Amino acid sequence: MLISLNELKKLVKITVADDELFRLIGSRLVEIERVEDLAPKYKKIYAAKVIDCEDIPETHLHLCKIDAGDKLNAEIDTEHNNYIQVVCGAPNVKKGMMAAWIAPGAIVPATYGTPEPFEISARKLRGFMSYGMLAAADELALGTDHDGIIELDPKNAKPGDAIVDILDLNDKIIEVENKSLTHRPDCFGLIGFAREVAGVLGQPFDINYDEIEKTIYDNTATSKNANKLIVKISDYSICPRYAARVFTFKSLPERSPYLTADDIFLIKAGMKPISPIVDATNLIMLRTGQPLHAFDYDKFVKIDGSNNPKIGIRLARKGEKLLLLDGEEVELIDTDIVITSGDTPVALAGAMGGDSTKIDKDTKKIIVEIACFSLYNLRKTQMAHGIFSEAITRFTKGRPAFDIEPAIVEALDVFKKLGGENTGSVLDVNANIYDEKGEPKHAIVNITAAEINALLGSDYSEELIIKTLTNTGFKITRKNSELEIVAPLWRTDIHIKEDIIEEVGRLLGFDNLPINFPQRPFVCSEIDPMLAFKTKLRIILSDRLSANEVLTYSFVSKTLQEKVGEDSQDSYQIVNSISPELECFRQSIVPSLLDKIRDNEKTGFEDFTLYELNQVTKKAWGLNDEKVPVMKTQLGLTTFGDYYQAKYFLSELSRTMNLNFELQPIEKSSLLEPLHAAAIYLNDTQIGELGEIKSSILRQFKLTSTISALTINLDSCLSADKKQKTSIKLSKFPSVSRDLTLRVANEAKYIDIESGIKEVLSKISDIIYIIKPVSIFRKPKENHKNLSFHLEIASKTKTLDSKEISDIIEQVTNSLKTLGAEVV
């Protein structure tokens, strides 16, 4: 929404500098996106009278002499007898008109502030010097019209007058972020906005709604109602209030050939002048926040064929179609609200009028509709038909039913001025919106100053609170210790004490609140064990094991899932996904990582490890106690290299996490090559898998190296019992080292041999040992392999001599013979 500072100043006495005003509005009313200062944009643009205008042969151009006042005439063009020569291509340029002239050296306003500002110069066109240019509306950034140059009203402008003065462009335009006023429909009009600005400045606001209400009722009572309007609302929930007035014209007012003050008002608000009737409805909307719509009375009546307009408001029926004002035919949905003549839809309520009741040059009588509709329905209408007009923007904030009166009054005023006579009115069909006494229902909140101060942490006096709220239309009476606060009718957002507290805090400035800290007991705070665990894992994986942490999307494509053999049906599907790439909530991390390897290879990275710690889910896991999907936090890791590379990561994690992982042959895996993969168990439960990715899968990711993956469900690790930390024993006597190479059959398991050695050594009393594998060697095609170990052995009681060592080794080798191992 665009607000003109000059218009605001007409309604509120601004007591602070502009910048301070913008700061106050920003901190106490609404987010300001930007403020545009118009004056510099229109520098060196003047009113100039066209004195002479001749066609330049064989072109569309005209050679003009203009009068921009003696001073400018003499200063700019010394050749042409005290006039300025300008070449103009506009078809409507004519002798005697008052035009807007952009002087040499000025920037074309439409390009002002853009990356390429266009500076007007004096230059030769078709052999004629042209000093500056006569401007069209679009060049002046006063509309989109480029059909001809704009014409100024000679009553308001004389040659040489600066355009900023004539067109009230010494102004600043405040662009408001609409979202930050979602709950304040009353602020979407100049009057409502100004009231809040007055409140922010600590001033009472002049425009008194109570009086306006009375006038309305008077008007309705005394109107002649020559044209009786029959209004039928099918359901008050879609249209709580519907008012209309009929205006009869002798002849419809015509558009002024000049750019008028009303035009400028509309343009500053970002709207386009169209015709006096439409402009009038828009002007009222901009002032009051209440959108209006005008129908051609005769066309309206003719559709139904009756004597008087039978206005119906109902939901559209499926399949109904409506040709709109903009020439587009829409197929209505069953949540659209339509205005009907009899039963025939003639307008899409709140959104756009219909073509069949459009005002044209023959219109003599109009019906002006002032109503409010359900924001829920209009919201859907807006989305379904893609209509984002100024009117529907206001309706979808929820127009208060009792805030239509100002527009009804203004309509009477404005259309009378245009020559219309009010020949029919209807105000209320729905009596239910009034209370038992027939009065409008106000929201009432009882609260004490102490309660207000308690929540804000402030120390405002009751007096200041009363004054502050009264300024913006609240009515307050002291009742015992409490304040009875009656909200104005336009405030549909006031319901509870906190709403009043917000008003006080906001209008007096949240930034003025005293800042202090909550008291805190000396209690150690907790951190989610999973968060702490993930932090620890990142240290191990990134800092210690040189892996690279990535984050990838939680949503993946069906294609990706198919590539790795996951069942997309088991994924939660996003119904409104941005693209098929982001359709399924992921079931595991590794596929997302595989998807990132190739691109990194292309940029020159080799032998890298990727990992991610994140949440995954699948339908098969079901719902938890809260009836939401069970989610698991998973570690996914991919690394260049074979099974043993992935196993290295697992064993390092096992060591640092103090968890006893067990590996067992994997039965089947869609992702891993079963003969080169293992299932990871913790306390007899499978918690993950590791191994080499099937080459058929790698090919689909355009990967040629061997890549292994590791997947661990971390929730199970968190809940598992930690194994006892190995107590490290050291001997004060020197250790002796021996290397031992054993030949075993190809099928022999490494773990059996290692356990065999350990078993013997453990039985020998008083010794401490360390055993490390050194190499596993097999010649191609041989059916046996050599396992080499390095042993460090020390006694706890003495220095071992070589005989004692040899005895120990012999015990080991003898025992291993039973396992089919021979010392080499």
Partner 1 sequence: MSSLEELKLELKKLGQEYAKIKTMPEAERKSFGEKLNARKSAILTAIHKQEEIAESVNIEPIDLTAPFGENTKPFKPTRGTKHPLTTELDRVAEIYRQMGFNVIEARQLDDEFHMFDSLNFPTGHPARDGYDTFRTSEGFIPPAHTSTMQYRALTRFRDHLDKYGQIAVVVPGRVFRNEDVDATHEHTFYQCEGVFVSRDATLGQLLATWQNFFETYYGQKLHIKTQPGFFPFTEPSLEFQIEKPKSLSGKGDGWLEMGGCGMIHPNVLRTAGINPEVYKGFAWGGGIDRLVMLKFGINDVRYFESGKLEFLKEF
Residues 398-457 binding partner 1 (CB under 8 A) are 454-457
601, 540 Cβ separation under 8 angstroms: no
Selected range binding partner 1 among 219-227, 363-371, 423-431, 608-616, rule: CB under 8 A: 608-616
Binding mask 177-216 for partner 1 (x = CB under 8 A): --xxxxxx--------------------------------
Q: Is 569 in the site for partner 1 (CB under 8 A)?
A: no
Nearer to partner 1, 506 or 738 (CB): 506
Q: Is 531 in the site for partner 1 (CB under 8 A)?
A: yes
Binding mask 360-389 for partner 1 (x = CB under 8 A): ---------------xx--x---x------
Q: Is 631 in the site for partner 1 (CB under 8 A)?
A: yes
* Cα 120 from chain centroid (whole Å): 40
Q: Is 487 in the site for partner 1 (CB under 8 A)?
A: no
Q: Is 577 in the site for partner 1 (CB under 8 A)?
A: yes
CA distance 392 to 381: 9
Q: Is 534 in the site for partner 1 (CB under 8 A)?
A: yes
Selected range binding partner 1 among 48-56, 547-555, 556-564, 708-716, rule: CB under 8 A: 547-555
Selected range binding partner 1 among 1-9, 436-444, 613-621, 690-698, rule: CB under 8 A: 613-621
Nearest approach in angstroms of CB 434 to partner 1 is 24
Contact pick of 499, 642, 715, 804 for partner 1 (by CB under 8 A): 499
Selected range binding partner 1 among 14-22, 305-313, 531-539, 562-570, rule: CB under 8 A: 531-539
Contact pick of 219, 548, 656, 735 for partner 1 (by CB under 8 A): 548
**Which token pair is 682?**
């913790």
Cα–Cα nearest to 591, from 696, 671, 694: 671
Selected range binding partner 1 among 483-491, 516-524, 639-647, 657-665, rule: CB under 8 A: 516-524
CA distance 252 to 272: 19
- DSSP label of 403: G
- DSSP label of 514: P
Contact pick of 30, 280, 316, 508 for partner 1 (by CB under 8 A): 30
636, 711 Cβ separation under 8 angstroms: yes
Q: Is 458 in the site for partner 1 (CB under 8 A)?
A: yes
Range 315-354, binding partner 1 (CB under 8 A)? none
Q: Is 714 in the site for partner 1 (CB under 8 A)?
A: no
**Which token pair is 100?**
């807007």
Nearer to partner 1, 440 or 509 (CB): 509
| Cβ count near 427 (within 10 Å) | 20
Per-residue HEC secondary structure of 272-306 comes to CCCCHHHHHHHHHHHHHCCCEEEEEHHHHHHHHCC
390, 316 Cβ separation under 8 angstroms: no
Residue type, 77: D
Q: Is 469 in the site for partner 1 (CB under 8 A)?
A: no
Nearest approach in angstroms of CB 555 to partner 1 is 8
Selected range binding partner 1 among 33-41, 227-235, 611-619, 736-744, rule: CB under 8 A: 611-619
Cα–Cα nearest to 354, from 325, 376, 379, 397: 325
399, 290 Cβ separation under 8 angstroms: yes
Q: Is 271 exposed, middle or buried (0-12, 13-18, 19+ CB in 10 A)?
A: buried
**Which token pair is 302?**
């003719």
CA distance 283 to 275: 12
Binding mask 136-175 for partner 1 (x = CB under 8 A): ----------------------------------------
Contact pick of 276, 289, 505, 691 for partner 1 (by CB under 8 A): 505
CB hemisphere CA count around 46 (13 angstroms)? 24
Nearest approach in angstroms of CB 818 to partner 1 is 43
CB hemisphere CA count around 553 (13 angstroms)? 14
Q: What is the end-to-end Cα distance of the chain in Å, rounded?
A: 89
Q: Is 600 in the site for partner 1 (CB under 8 A)?
A: yes
Nearer to partner 1, 422 or 592 (CB): 592
Nearer to partner 1, 14 or 582 (CB): 582
Sheet with 241-249, side-by-side order of all strands:
292-296, 365-372, 241-249, 420-426
Nearest approach in angstroms of CB 634 to partner 1 is 12
| Cβ count near 550 (within 10 Å) | 16
